[in-house]
Structure 1
Amino acid sequence: MTAHHRPPTVSAWRPPVPGIAEVFHAHFTDHAYPAHTHDTWDLMILDDGAVDFGLDRRRHAAADLSAVLLLPPGVRHDGRTVTAAGFRKRVLYLDTTVLPERLIGKAADAPILADPLLRDRIHRLHAALGHPGEVVEGESRLFFVAERLRFHLEAFRHREPGREAHRLAVELRELLDARVRVGLSLREAAAVLHSHPTHLIRCFTRTYGLPPHTYLTGKRIDLARRLLLSGQRPADVATSVGFHDQAHLNRHFTRHVGITPARYASGGHVSRRDARQASRGNRH
């Protein structure tokens, strides 16, 4: 089968992050989108290849992998591959709680944003959305993506933390400490503390040296360690301390502690199952 006729590869899902209607990853070699519109903002980055697209009766060519494409809701557009190798893209469909409709006109005038910082923020958001359970991190990264988009569309400038930074950081930490098991969305925290989520994150990071979602994960790992040593099963511990499932716990626990929760609970001894897995890995 030639590259030109290779079937498309598509992955799509709806993450539990407010504001994101859909995540869409695809590799197309000869696909052409007909003219259509969306009710959402279409935020796209390219990982390979080039795209030719029409937006509001004007054609555009996108091949810069450090750039970002933003197609506004309600505006007619199409798209097609440029070369036989096609293109790889990652798309976020964002609703109008993330970007207001009043910015549609400005976005339609300049849909290609040459901004490596924005591109990196979107890449990191996709990485977070690819792991079930990373809702707080996804929410946090989405706010910073939206902030950067507003910088382009309406010259928005964020406010640097001032004297209030320590107070807000302490208050946010108290909220997180009280909600370790059930979690706390940044929207909730912002409403309680009367501050914008990105400002809260900057204040917290300046005060404690790490963002709120990383702090919350560390608190959950500490709680998981105590429960594991008390004899509870890793699968039960995972959900009781706020992780999505055991795989979610395993990933963070191993990164923090250096061994799996099961090995930690057994005093560091390798189980027969772990030994068999290690043996199989050494043979490959």
Structure 2
Amino acid sequence: MPARDGTRGRVHMPRCAIAGVEATVAETARAFPRHSHDRFGVGVIVSGGHKSASGRGPVEARMNDTIMVNPGEVHDGSPLDERGRAWHMLYFEPSMLVSAAAELNATEAREVELTQPVAHDPLLKHLFERLFAMAVQPSARDDLACEQALVELVAHLLSAHATCRATGHARMLGTSSVATIAHAKARIDDDPAAPLTLADLADEAGISRFQLLRAFAHETGLPPHAYRMQRRVVLARQLIARGVSLADAAAAAGFADQSHMTRAFVRLLGVTPANYAAAMR
């Protein structure tokens, strides 16, 4: 069942028939706070209009536009007016696009970045809608046709809306600063449930709490607490998808209780853990 937010609409995560891909169907006037996803996101605005701000600047998308987001890219999202907006979205495991880029370019593994938050590309819209329909209606799909649709979408996405480069670039900050923040970020990624403090992270990095807070937000787009909360939601989502009970998932992900997890889940994903669990069955 879809998750309803009073009169503000609904966000639904239907079962997706493609391994490594998650689907979202949304129709809502909800404004989402700054957050990021751990996957590449590609979608189409079905009705209304949407605006968001991210590291790539403020953008607006309207009906029939395609929207795209990179893993770890911090952004927010709100409707253009009180009528809200509706969209369909597919989220791809990063390895899917990186492997496809390597295959297309006949090179070693590459770093992939989707370059446009919003695009008016009728072909991309068509390829997305064809794959989305197959992904959420498995009873009506043909495996070969679905695989072809996936390959054709990814190929067009990479050729027209992405850049591919060798990994290992240090961006935005000096190399030493990037390494410092990468270590702090890895500490959170490795165990989001751990009760780390800002002082813990700063001591390990050999810098002050104020330096860490400023550098972490500069490099990731989020302060450490917000980043850890997001990683806890990701961990809880993964546990729930594997069949772990909601209460156990909340405890394992570091939430105070199941209600705490539910509030964080809805805030960042727009869907309750219970609805997400139902979609994964």
**TM-score, with length taken from structure 2:** 0.48
**TM-score, with length taken from structure 1:** 0.48
Structure with max Cα Rg: 1
